[in-house]
Every structure is written in C-alpha cells, then in structure tokens.
Amino acid sequence: MTQLLSNFISGRWQNGTGSGVALMDPVLGTELARVDATGLDLPAGFAFAREQGGAALRAMTYAERAALLSAAVKVLQANRDAYYEIATANSGTVKNDSAVDIDGGIFTLGTYAKLGEALGARRFMLDGEAARLGKDPLFQSQHVLTPTRGVALFINAFNFPSWGLWEKAAPALLSGVPVIIKPATATAWLTQRMVKDVVDAGIFPAGALSVVCGSSVGLMDALQPFDVVSFTGSAETAAVIRSHPAVTQHSVRVNIEADSLNSALLLPDAAPGSEAFELLVKEAVREMTVKSGQKCTAIRRILVPEALYGAVAAAMGTRLAKTTVGNPRNEAVRMGALVNREQLASVQQGLAHLKSQTETLFDGSTVPLVDADATVACCVGPTLLGTRNVQGSDSADRVHDTEVFGPVATLLPYRDLAHALALVRRGQGSLVTSLYGSDPAALGAVALELADSHGRVHVISPDVAALNTGHGNVMPQSLHGGPGRAGGGEELGGLRALNFYHRRSAVQASTAVLATLSNTPA
C-alpha cells in the first residue's frame, strides 16, 4: 500500500480524510506516496501555532532561538542520505542538482543560526538611533522591531522542497514567529520528511513548526491580521493571494516571489574566446541544465553583441551537446527530469510559443535519453533558441514576456549597450541579471543602471572566475526577490530577512526610558 504522508498541525500528526493525491516518480512513472489535507481543522491549527508556538518562541532570546536552528541543522545533516534518495525519486534530480536544494537549505539554516547567535540575549531589536523631537533632547523617539504575534504561512513551489522550506523558516523562527509550511504537492515528500525529522527530535516548542501537505484550500481563510504569508510560484496564484480578504480587509502582510525572465549580458568589450566570453557561455549552459532549468533564478535571455551572436551560439551548442539526459540513478546522466507530466506539457507548449518568433540553435528534442523510456519519463533535452538579428530581438515580444520553466533559453543580439539595457528591462523586473566583462568601471556602471529593476546583479569578471557563487545560486547573505514581474518581494539578505517577521514601532519617551531599551537585553 502506498505511504500516506501525514500533516503536522495543532502539535500532532494527522491524516486527511480523503483518498489523497499521488506523488509520482517523474522518470519511472511509479506512485511513491500520497498526500491529503481534507478535513483538517485549520483554524484550530493556526490558533495553536499562534498561542502555543508563538508564546514559547517569543519567550526566548535570539541566541536561544539560534541554538534551536543549530540543533535542527545537526538533525538534517544526519539524514542527508535519505533526503537525496527522496529527491532522486520524487524530483528526478541528479545528485549535484539535489545538493543545490538539500545542502543549500541546510547551509541557509546554519547561516541564520550564526546570525542569531550574534544578536545575543535580546528579544527585540533597535532600529536606528534615537531622534530628538524638539530642541530639548529630553524627549526622543526610538524605533524598535518586535516579533509579530501571529503565524507565518509559507506556500512554496515544487522546485526547491528543501531550500524553499528553510530559507523562509530560518529567519521566521529566529524572529520568534511560528511557521506553517504548505509545500507544493508534487514534491511534498522531501519537505514533509525534513519537518518530521526535526519534529521527532523535539527541538522546537509545540506549535512552532507545522506542515500541511495536499490542498491549500482554507489556508488563507485561517489567517488573522498579525499573521504573514510568503508565497513562491506563478503570477496567477500570486494575484489570487493578493486579492484574498485576509490581505485586502485584514492587512495580512504578504511577500511574493513570482515569474522572472532573468538575463545574462555580455558587455561590448568582450572578444570571441576571451575569458569573459567563455565565462558567459559556461554559466549560461549551466543555468539551462541545473535542475533541468526549473529554477526561478535560471537564465532565460542571453544578450550578446551582434557580432558575437554566431560565436556564442556555436560555443553553447558544443557544450549543450555534451549534456546527457535521463534517469538520475545512472551515473552517466548529467540532467534529470522535469517534475511531472503537467510540467513537461507546459514546457513543450512554451517552447512552441517561443519558436514562432525565434530560430532553434540547439534542438533538445534530438538528445537521446539515457536509461529512460521517452514515453514515460518527464525528460526533455536543453533547447537554445535565438533571434538572429537585432530587429528580431526587438520584435520577438514573446521572448520578453514568456518564461518557459525548463531547460530553455534564448540568445539575443544587441546593437549597442543602450540597446542591450533596454532589452534587459523588457523583462519588467527580475530576480537576477548577470554581467560579463573585464572592465571594472564599465561593469560597475551597468550594474547600477540595472539595479533598480533587479533584486540581485551578479557581476562576473576574470578576477572572480573561480570565486563567484554562480548566477542562479541564492546565497543567504544577499537579497532574494525582485520588483515588478518578479513579485515585488524580498527574502534573505542576512538580517534584513527578519524585518518581514517583525513590526516596527516608534517609542516616544524620555531619554532615561529609552536608555533602558538600549541597556537591557530583555
């Protein structure tokens, strides 16, 4: 009988009352487990988290909560092998791609444990310096940040069941806010197993950590004014969340990460075969193939000087031809599967949409699968499209409007730097853009030009070729999110992430009273 993954809410494991939704192996086509949240008393579960989990967490200092995060890291590290097995079976990822998710999530959790330890024995944070309210400095204003007395609801995407969990949960729990995780159904197994291991270890107080697997129906209805919700997924679902009465009537705070047509830009001074040229080609191919292109930060548009279009296309095609696609259990395979048949159909449909305005530079459909049945496996080879000339870069509106969430990217030639910047901005706000060149002044100037429309600008010059963390890798020290189409949200960024889970207030008082805020840890 197929395993039914339980939900953990109201401080206990509970099964839904329905038959559940099947989680599938995207390569073998076999059923792995089922999830179901039918019949759960969600309002009671949210109340339990608020009242029990929230009170217990707020009673602790930042350093004490950081110690809980450190303990969770040890539990997760001890179970890494099991997580890799689940990722291979449920997400269809090769080992290196699983590491991005699993080890990336654990690393992020550990980073916030260290940040919290440095905050010490406090239960609130000062925000800036005190400001006098008149000529006499006796009466002043001091802004403070205190944990919100609500829950944090996380509605996550299918592509990062580990990292998506911990990059949100780490700053929330460190802030003193209990979390309720709703993983994407397709890959809920890894999220549920990680939560189960931490819960079974008895690390966090009752109500601090909950997980609901299956349908999201009723989750938003259970929110109250001091709760917060963080969502990663499609713009369509984001619009539904933003229009929910919890948000429109009760002012529930919302963070959204949505679609993103990220770009990579090779500056005009790069020559064929130069180090900057080779760095762009290598990174663009890597971003197309890691996790089969199922990353919100993946490069979708590659902008190069018109004179280098053919050279870049040839160099990328040579690299892409070496990408073996198929069963991730086979050591010869370098790129696994898409998450399920629905995602496969979506990628195929998106490809057809883009091909009507582009040419095919490398055809992924010609790549034979390794150790996988093409009629069953949700595998698709990497496909590089292009617009051939600068007029095409301007007229191919679908390239700038449609994100195909798979191993697909489009090569775009540009006329001059002003044209290149205009093309990048047609993405209408992205999570990340990366720049490749060798002139520090030129790279710096372009980075500032594009900073207003991107959450992160990743600048690669030859001197950091071996040091940079990669276009698509989201490091906890840097902000993750983006304006416009990308959702307008912000996550991570070191201690900045804690702001979302705190409420800012101004305390207006005498200098003597304000001194007690600065001098006492409580």
Among the listed residues 394, 345, 399, 335, the one whose alpha carbon sits nearest the alpha carbon of residue 370: 335
Output the DSSP codes for 472-521: S---TTSEEEESGGG-SEEEESGGGGGGGGEEEEEEEEEHHHHHHHHH--
pTM of the model: 0.96
Where does 49-183 have alpha helices with state H?
54-58, 62-78, 80-91, 95-119, 163-175
Strands 7-9 and 12-14: antiparallel
Q: What is the enclosing helix (H) or strand (E) of 453?
A: none
Q: 429: closest CA among 280, 236, 263?
A: 263
Q: For 369, phi and psi rounded to 5 degrees? A: -80, 145
Q: Rounded to an integer, what distance in angstroms lies between the CA atom of residue 100 and that of residue 98?
A: 5
Domain boundaries along the sequence of the chain: 42-258+490-519, 263-476
Query: Among all chains, which residue has been given the structure tokens 């309210």?
Result: 133
Provide CATH code, domain 42-258+490-519: 3.40.605.10
- Cβ 14 vs Cβ 43: under 8 Å: no
Per-residue pLDDT tens listing for the chain (522 residues): 578 999 999 999 999 999 999 999 999 999 999 999 999 999 999 999 999 999 999 999 999 999 999 999 999 999 999 999 999 999 999 999 999 999 999 999 999 999 999 999 999 999 999 999 988 889 999 999 999 999 999 999 999 999 999 999 999 999 999 999 999 999 999 999 999 999 999 999 999 999 999 988 999 999 999 999 999 999 999 999 999 999 999 999 999 999 899 999 999 989 988 999 999 999 999 999 999 999 999 999 999 999 999 999 999 999 999 999 999 999 999 999 999 999 999 999 999 999 999 999 999 998 899 999 999 999 999 999 999 899 999 999 999 999 999 999 999 999 999 999 999 999 999 999 999 999 999 999 999 999 999 999 999 999 999 999 999 999 999 999 999 999 999 999 999 999 999 999 999 999 999 999 986 654
Amino acid identity, residue 383?
Answer: T
Distance CA 320, CA 384 (A): 9
Position of tokens 């944090």?
152
Report strand pairing: 3-5 vs 31-35.
parallel
Closest CA to 177 of 232, 244, 226, 224: 226
Residues marked active site are found at 257, 296
Of 3.30.1330.90, 3.20.20.70, 3.40.309.10, 3.90.245.10, the CATH number of 263-476 is: 3.40.309.10
Check if the beta carbon of residue 390 is closer than 8 Å to that of residue 415. Answer: yes
